[in-house]
Structure 1
Amino acid sequence: MKPKILIVGGGYGGLRAAMTLQEGLNVDADVTLISKHDYHYQTTLLHKVAIGTLSARKSRVYFRKILDLNKVHFIKDKILSFEPEKKRVIGNGGAYEYDYLVIALGFKPDDFGIKGVDKYAHKLSSLNAALKLDKEIEYKFKEYCHTKNANDLSIIVCGTGFTGIEFSAELGSRISELCLIGGIPRDVPKITCIGRSERILPMFNQKASALAQKKLEAFGVEVICGGEVQECLEDGVIIKHKGEIKHIKGNTILWSAGVKGNDSVENSCLKNKKGRIEVDAFLRCPQYENIYVVGDCALATSRNAIHAPTAQLAAQMGDYVGKSLIKILNHKEQKEIFAFKHRGTVCSIGHTDGVGIVYKKNISGEIAAFLKNFIENKWLFGIGGIKLVFRKGQFRYRTSN
């Protein structure tokens, strides 16, 4: 019988594993990709969708358009549980059997048990969540002429990592246009970015972090470092800052303070920490050697991968697992352990600016923005070729706006 390879999750890791198998597998095997959506989207661009500078049409890449369906089957379904002893997973559509399983189910925002986060805060956890936030922000700006409620135009961002900073900068770069459209004085809208760390983007060195904050403040964003969120409310957040309890007012809250693994993994019999499985050097689940884990569901233990950018790490993991399975199905032993190649990290500050570290060198300004776009376009090229880049890619003067 043909060996069955089942990939659950169609993000960077899962899709890269499927594409690697599609391109390199030369033996007869049954490869299936399951995702709860019938499209892939770049999570690194969700902040643009949430501000309206990237449309839903451009952000979706449909699986059936980029996969060779003669080599990789696609099923739209949500995975609910795992039964590793029976070599199957359970979804809404039934049971799916496998000989080899690749878990790539992505992340879920972590509220750390803070009261009110789940009820009052938005999270950029999916394309639909980003579209919902965009619709709310646009509606509040358009209705301000009737409501005259300044708190409706006060946006609070909890988290000073990549998601929070890129969202704040994207919104800051568009705020003047939103004010012009709505006939709103520029000094009414307010963006506040709050983080627990003593500086923003703590994964960068101090110089890069300071430069990013300076650029962010030039957009009118107020940055509060060393602020610990105590509670989210309908009209703002309660924070502890420099020993004082403060109420930061705002009717739109984005929670981007941290992520954890998938709920289905967290509630499974697979040993995990907050939905993340600590993998071995070959990215296998220690309990079951026929189960591989990539992306946000994998807890990388090697020193160079722990703080790696998620998309870059997930894609490399998916590629490695795909190549490992090709070797195994060709009756060869995978002797090479997974090694993450950290090529650099870029944080966009609006569409034409940014900061980053590439091959251990600090970069900023338009060169950083160019490299950010290049990275996004390189991913598109890898899954759909040059035609997909021209249709969906990021370019200097081209946005959905």
Structure 2
Amino acid sequence: MSKDVEFDVCSLDKLKLPKNPKILIIGGGYAGLMTALKLQSSLDFTQENKPQVTLINKHDYHYQTTLLHKVAVGTLSVRKARIYYRKILKANKVKFVKDKIKSLDPENHCVYGNGGRYDYDILVIALGFRADDFNIPGVAQHAFKLSTLNRAVKLSEHIENKFKDFIHTQNPLDLSFIVCGTGFTSIEFAAELGSQLDEFCEICGIDRSIPKITCIGRSNQILPVFSEKLSSKAVEKLKKMSVELITNGTVKEIKEDGVIVEKDSKLIEIKGNTVLWGAGVKGSDVIEKSSIPNKKGKIQVDFQLRALNYNNIFVVGDSAQPTTKDAIHAPTAQLSSQMGEFVGTMISELVKGHEFNKPFVFKHRGTVCSIGHTDGVGIVYGKELWGEIAAFMKNTIENRWLFSIGGLSMVFKKGQFRYRTSN
């Protein structure tokens, strides 16, 4: 949005909470989990009028979506990727419920899941994202998506089988991988796969010239959020991995054995039996089908991340569509975690009966795109980085999140380090 939306602070703070208020968080990604942890550390659960905090998620584990490309290629094990909620949430403070949310009923202050009805006095919506196929034919039927850990595992198994079975099929298209999109998810996956091709071919006895990776993007450069200089650095690194890049190309259709692309007003067909769709995301379908006004599963929020016209509903992470300039940024894990921390702090103050009129302001510390395990490009505190130092900063960012949710022990158990992979 081009203009900030103005709100009446006083009217928003007229939220009267009952004794033992029910605070419900739906979704346990970066934003939802950080909200729960902030409430866990900020509220007094020993008093008689203690809040009832519940986190609901469809899985009983959290995972870093920024590392799904590693799971998909097999360089990060599923066991290491899972972080179980009950190991980091204290049961006497935050109750965890494994359930899939089916619908929202804001008029009656409740949500519904497979396990029944959940009432709330304050609701935090953090339902994450899903792939947006933009109604392009074949995406739903023929393309893999990196939107969940389970999907990443399926892609990993698929890739492993294509290499193991090549000795029998001898079909070069089985080792032709097409990636639709040239943003972070797509480039990190292509680079991770490219960095492992030598090893895959050696293990399976395959000529290294046979596997091919092609990335297709609509922009005139890859990683368009970065400068042309950083984009060029990434291109140089990807080409050394034999990754072919097609820019200014529009995917028109995905087929079982390839992708139709329009480039320079001409249709070309790129053949391959594995297609990854990483060209866009949208919000939750639960939100999209709800009575809360939204756009593609994203709910407009005010300067304090409250849903417009609902003073007891907060929206964070990929479910939120900010309307103030201090909050409008490309969706990242860093943005989501800061949203969760802010909302957790605000709810804590409301429960304590304190006024809280501060706006949410995103503090952009940096963004790094990994190019394989020991290389990358990015910006950290305004400084452009590339090479091993960028990879180090990427690992530092991932480990910082682990530290925030589980301390040093979590970093040692689950952290990303220079040469530590699951190979």
> TM-score band (shorter)?
over 0.9
Q: What is aligned with 1:114?
A: 136
1:252 lines up with 2:270 in the alignment: no
1:112-151 to structure 2, matched below 5 A, reads 112-151=134-173
Contact 1:309 1:345 in 2 (8 A): no
Q: What is aligned with 2:35?
A: 17
- Structure 2, unmatched stretches of 5+, are 1-18
Q: What is aligned with 2:6?
A: none
1:64 lines up with 2:82 in the alignment: no
Q: What is aligned with 2:52?
A: 30
* TM-score w.r.t. length of structure 1: 0.99
Deviations 1:370-399 (A, max 9, x none): 010001011011111111110110000101
Contact 1:270 1:287 in 2 (8 A): no
Deviation at 1:287, TM superposition (A): 2.1
Give me the whole-angstrom Cα distance separating, in 2, the residues matched to 1:307 and 1:330: 31
Contact 1:203 1:307 in 2 (8 A): no
Q: What is aligned with 1:358?
A: 380
Deviation at 1:301, TM superposition (A): 2.7
What SS is found at the alignment partner of 2:155? helix
User: Quick one: which amino acid aligns to residue 114 of structure 1?
Assistant: I
Deviation at 1:309, TM superposition (A): 4.5
User: Quick one: which amino acid aligns to residue 401 of structure 2?
Assistant: W
Range with greater deviation from structure 2 (209-218 or 301-310): 301-310
Give me the whole-angstrom Cα distance separating, in 1, the residues matched to 2:218 and 2:134: 13
Q: Share of identical aligned residues, percent?
A: 62
What SS is found at the alignment partner of 1:160? coil
Give me the whole-angstrom Cα distance separating, in 2, the residues matched to 1:376 and 1:318: 17
1:294 lines up with 2:312 in the alignment: no
Give me the whole-angstrom Cα distance separating, in 1, the residues matched to 2:302 and 2:420: 43
Q: What is aligned with 1:400?
A: 422
Deviation at 1:244, TM superposition (A): 1.2
Q: What is aligned with 1:2?
A: 20
Deviation at 1:357, TM superposition (A): 0.7
* TM-score w.r.t. length of structure 2: 0.94
User: Quick one: which amino acid aligns to residue 218 of structure 1?
Assistant: K
Give me the whole-angstrom Cα distance separating, in 2, the residues matched to 1:304 and 1:170: 33
Give me the whole-angstrom Cα distance separating, in 1, the residues matched to 2:411 and 2:380: 22
1:348 lines up with 2:348 in the alignment: no
Q: What is aligned with 2:344?
A: 322
Contact 2:302 2:324 in 1 (8 A): no
Give me the whole-angstrom Cα distance separating, in 1, the residues matched to 2:103 and 2:330: 28
Give me the whole-angstrom Cα distance separating, in 2, the residues matched to 1:190 and 1:75: 44
Contact 1:40 1:62 in 2 (8 A): yes
Q: What is aligned with 1:226?
A: 248
Give me the whole-angstrom Cα distance separating, in 2, the residues matched to 1:270 and 1:16: 24
Deviations 1:281-309 (A, max 9, x none): 01000121100000000012333543334
User: Quick one: which amino acid aligns to residue 33 of structure 2?
Assistant: L
1:192 lines up with 2:214 in the alignment: yes
User: Quick one: which amino acid aligns to residue 26 of structure 1?
Assistant: D
Which of 252, 256, 278 is equivalent to 2:300? 278
Contact 2:57 2:98 in 1 (8 A): yes
Give me the whole-angstrom Cα distance separating, in 2, the residues matched to 1:128 and 1:304: 34
- Structure 1, unmatched stretches of 5+, are none
Which of 330, 334, 350 is equivalent to 1:308? 330
Give me the whole-angstrom Cα distance separating, in 2, the residues matched to 1:358 and 1:300: 23
Deviations 1:309-347 (A, max 9, x none): 420110000000000001101111111000000111000
Give me the whole-angstrom Cα distance separating, in 2, the residues matched to 1:167 and 1:306: 26
What SS is found at the alignment partner of 2:397? helix
Q: What is aligned with 2:64?
A: 42
Give me the whole-angstrom Cα distance separating, in 2, the residues matched to 1:304 and 1:255: 30
Contact 2:76 2:422 in 1 (8 A): yes
Which of 116, 120, 127 is equivalent to 1:98? 120
The alignment of Structure 1 onto Structure 2 pairs a total of residues equal to 401
Give me the whole-angstrom Cα distance separating, in 1, the residues matched to 2:365 and 2:322: 17
1:175 lines up with 2:205 in the alignment: no
Q: What is aligned with 1:210?
A: 232
Q: CA RMSD in A?
A: 0.8
Deviation at 1:32, TM superposition (A): 0.2
Deviation at 1:221, TM superposition (A): 0.2
